[in-house]
Amino acid sequence: MVTCAVMTSLMGCMVTTYLFFRYTMCMGLGITAKTILFGIFVLMGCIPLLIPYKLENILGAFYPIYRYAMYFIFIACIILFAVTLVSDAFLFLLSYTKIALKSKFFWCFGMNYVNIAIALLCAAYALYEGTKIPDIKEVKIVSAKVSQEQTIALLSDIHLHRAIFPHKIKEIVEKTNSAEPDAVILAGDIIDDDVDKIADMTSLLKGLKAKKGIYFVTGNHEFYTGYHETVKALKNLGFTFLENNSETLGGNVYVAGIPDLFSSKGYGTDIDLNQAFSSAPEGSYRLLVPHTPADFGKDNIFDLEVSGHTHGGQIFPFHLLAKLRNKYLAGLYTMDEETNIYVSRGAGQWGPQMRFLAPSEITLIKLKPQQGKKQVKKAQIDTIFNQGEINPYGKFFTGQTYLQRLSAYDDVWHSSVANVTFEPGARTNWHRHSGGQILLVLGGEGRYQERGKEIRILKKGDVVRIPVDVDHWHGAAPNSWFTHISIETNGENNKTDWLEPVTDEEYK
């Protein structure tokens, strides 16, 4: 908490120092006046250090108003900085045109007033955006793994503290309940103050209602405020704590949580994705909740990640800095061919109760079954292993295939193993593996071809060693089911590049 305030103040002082020189250079002030003004500008930059909770003992009920007013000044300076840079760049370019504005008065005074007016209007709008009740943002995810529609309300980064007005929390709770979610997920940074000081405000969250429960994970501010105290406070509300464990939501959907990536290491808590999903069976739809968005690469053993932390930048131009530190800033992204991530801007704010060009949100995630889902046909051959579910990578195949994972990639074996079953005529697209692949044929008759070579007929007992980065395809014969074991070798460096479909002429 202190570090955040110090870093923000340091940045603020750099901004206000620039503003001092930029806005006083044409005033012709004496040294005394300039010294006084410089001190005022520096104080405006240090505002995050001038609003500690200790002042509540002096200001009493007036403290929240003081805090809001001081932050309004601070954010107005930040916005003025951005506006000034843009206007100065525009005027600089304009000076090279035939309509160059050479009036010293306009350059030094007229445009300054325009900039300040724009900054104040933007700051007022930011205050409105930060204090209003967040809108509901609906996100639809369709998956063949989901057997029954699930509606999940995602609340992140509420940042409960003593300067928030309780009516806002009440209305967030009521608006969330109005969506009638199956489950509510609190994705960290919910509590951001001494739990004893805000006990009454925290208790307002007890009004949340969901048919299948309310779940929470820790964010970095829970660690700052007091890990054990905040977890206990939320558990006492009847909420389920997710930390390296998962719960079923029904409809073949499992939700798991892990400690905050940003702070957990410093507080002795470990992240274990395999443990988190140990109760989620293969073929289930896995929903991961870390507070800080992250791509785990080869360890992405989930279908959807939902996170917060970034606030979407909260106040422009902080978007630019936030993006430098976060690969995923806000919204829905595709991590890889089977994994998505959604990053919420959050329902509250850290620091100033203001937002500019990054609106707060109550996220409603609708997990829907894939429409027109094909029925699983029983293979007409002995598959030895479980035939599995309809292949979730079906968009990279022609015809119907089934997938049963047998062993996920890990740091010990450095490979993954799956059983793939093809209906007659089904085949992969052309593709290649950066780490190679081995196929062990279990039954039926199949086909394998490397680009530029003849098709190879595959039968039970055949072994295919596929070289690194060689374009190829494989699948069933036109009139036969086909099943093989697929071994992804050199897993730490193995990526599949999917190419164009195999045409009927190529398939023969």
Q: Give the phi and the psi of residue 263 in degrees, each rounded to 5.
A: -125, -15
Calculate mean pLDDT across residues 175-191: 96
Cross-strand pairs, 403: 389, 420
Question: Looking at 57-71, 291-305, 450-464, which range is the least confident one?
Answer: 291-305
Tokens of 279: 């109760």
Calculate mean pLDDT across residues 292-305: 88
- pLDDT score recorded for residue 374: 57
User: In the predicted model, is pLDDT for residue 449 greater than 90?
Assistant: yes
Do 91 and 145 share a domain, yes or no?
no
- pLDDT score recorded for residue 394: 85
Residue-by-residue DSSP string for 266-280:
GGT----HHHHTTTS
361: helix, coil or strand? strand
Cross-strand pairs, 104: none
- pLDDT score recorded for residue 103: 56
Do 6 and 64 share a domain, yes or no?
yes
For residue 303, being part of any structural domain is answered with yes
Do 394 and 342 share a domain, yes or no?
no
What phi-psi label fits residue 460: left (phi over 0), alpha (psi between -120 and 50 degrees) or beta? beta
Question: Looking at 5-19, 121-135, 480-494, which range is the least confident one?
Answer: 480-494
The residues, ordered by sequence, that sit 6+ positions from 89 with a Cβ below 8 Å of its Cβ are none
Do 13 and 143 share a domain, yes or no?
no
Domain boundary, last residue among 85, 108, 131: 131
Residue-by-residue DSSP string for 105-163:
HIIIIIHHHHHHHHHHHHHHHHHHHHHSPPEEEEEEEEETT--S-EEEEEE----B-TT
Do 271 and 348 share a domain, yes or no?
yes
How big is the chain by its Cα radius of gyration, in Å?
29
Calculate mean pLDDT across residues 69-90: 93
- pLDDT score recorded for residue 1: 44
Tokens of 164: 């928030």
Q: The domain that contains 140 carries what CATH number?
A: 3.60.21.10
- pLDDT score recorded for residue 375: 59
> pLDDT averaged over the chain?
89
Calculate mean pLDDT across residues 286-302: 89
For residue 231, being part of any structural domain is answered with yes
For residue 257, being part of any structural domain is answered with yes
More confident residue, 337 or 149: 149
Q: Evaluate if pTM is beyond 0.85.
A: no
For residue 144, being part of any structural domain is answered with yes
Burial of 317 (0-12, 13-18, 19+ CB in 10 A): middle
Domain boundary, last residue among 107, 131, 155: 131
- 48 within 8 A of 12, measured Cβ to Cβ: yes
Do 364 and 411 share a domain, yes or no?
no
User: In the predicted model, is pLDDT for residue 359 greater than 60?
Assistant: yes
Calculate mean pLDDT across residues 209-215: 95
Do 332 and 454 share a domain, yes or no?
no
pLDDT digits 0-9 by tens, 235-257 = 999 999 999 999 999 888 999 99
Residue-by-residue DSSP string for 408-444:
---TTT--EEEEEEE-TT-EEPSEEETT-EEEEEEEE
Distance CA 496, CA 490 (A): 12
For residue 383, being part of any structural domain is answered with no
Do 119 and 9 share a domain, yes or no?
yes
| Domain carrying residue 91 | 2-131
* pLDDT tier at 115, thresholds 50, 70, 90: very high
- 71 within 8 A of 354, measured Cβ to Cβ: yes
* pLDDT tier at 3, thresholds 50, 70, 90: low
User: In the predicted model, is pLDDT for residue 105 greater than 70?
Assistant: no
For residue 376, being part of any structural domain is answered with no
For residue 342, being part of any structural domain is answered with yes
Residue with tokens 């010990």: 412
Number of C-alpha atoms within 13 angstroms, CB side, residue 18?
A: 15
Q: The domain that contains 416 carries what CATH number?
A: 2.60.120.10
Do 271 and 153 share a domain, yes or no?
yes
More confident residue, 298 or 404: 404
Distance CA 346, CA 367 (A): 20
- pLDDT score recorded for residue 140: 93
Do 317 and 192 share a domain, yes or no?
yes
Q: Number of structural domains, the chain?
A: 3
For residue 382, being part of any structural domain is answered with no
Cross-strand pairs, 401: 422
Do 46 and 65 share a domain, yes or no?
yes
Domain boundary, last residue among 103, 131, 159: 131
Do 165 and 296 share a domain, yes or no?
yes
What phi-psi label fits residue 336: left (phi over 0), alpha (psi between -120 and 50 degrees) or beta? beta
Which of 350, 417, 427, 358 lies closest to 48 in space, CA to CA?
A: 350
